[in-house]
């Protein structure tokens, strides 16, 4: 099992409001890096291309206690994975991070581990920036 955990970031927004934001894939496009093309989304599903790598499809599988969003790959992805967004905190700020889990073969792991880690770190940093000064 390959596990990739993003950086933890402090978000200037409540857990509840951040949860609502992350519960809608339409809000994710603005969190993505430039290497992401062909973005398509509904509230519960999205698909996109990572330049030079692969097409990815994801769907929201479960929302847990207003603090956890569980995402699963769809058949548009070249491999199965789970991605969970975790939110912690009280009041007007929260911390956020993502955890990716997949049974990748060693060759695929070598190819995708660093790019995926960079992607998830970029997403949480953009999430943080999205609410700064709001």
pLDDT at 30: 95
Q: Domain 2-131: give its CATH architecture.
A: 2-Layer Sandwich (3.30)
Instruction: Give, in order, the Cα–Cα distances in Å from 122 to each of 9, 65, 105, 117.
Output: 11, 25, 25, 9
pLDDT, position 134: 54
Return per-residue pLDDT of the chain as tens, 134 residues. 999 999 999 999 999 999 999 999 999 999 999 999 999 999 999 999 988 778 999 999 999 999 999 999 999 999 999 999 999 999 999 999 999 999 999 998 998 899 899 999 999 999 999 998 65
Q: Which two tokens stand for residue 126?
A: 């953009």
pLDDT reported for residue 52: 75
**Would the pTM count as exceeding 0.85?**
yes
Residue 109: both structure tokens together: 């792991």
Q: d(Cα 90, Cα 102) in Å, to the nearest integer? A: 31
């Amino acid at each position: 099992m390959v596990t990739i955990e993003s950086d933890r970031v402090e978000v200037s927004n409540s857990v509840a409001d951040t949860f609502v934001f992350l519960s809608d894939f339409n809000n994710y496009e603005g969190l993505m890096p430039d290497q992401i093309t062909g973005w398509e989304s509904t509230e519960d599903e999205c698909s996109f291309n990572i330049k030079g790598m692969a097409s990815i499809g994801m769907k929201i599988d479960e929302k847990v206690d207003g603090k956890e969003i569980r995402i699963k790959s769809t058949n548009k992805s070249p491999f199965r994975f789970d991605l969970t967004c975790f939110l912690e905190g009280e009041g007007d700020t929260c911390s956020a991070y993502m955890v990716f889990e997949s049974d990748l073969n060693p060759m695929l792991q070598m190819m995708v581990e660093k790019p995926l880690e960079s992607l998830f770190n970029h997403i949480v940093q953009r999430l943080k920036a999205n609410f700064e000064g709001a």
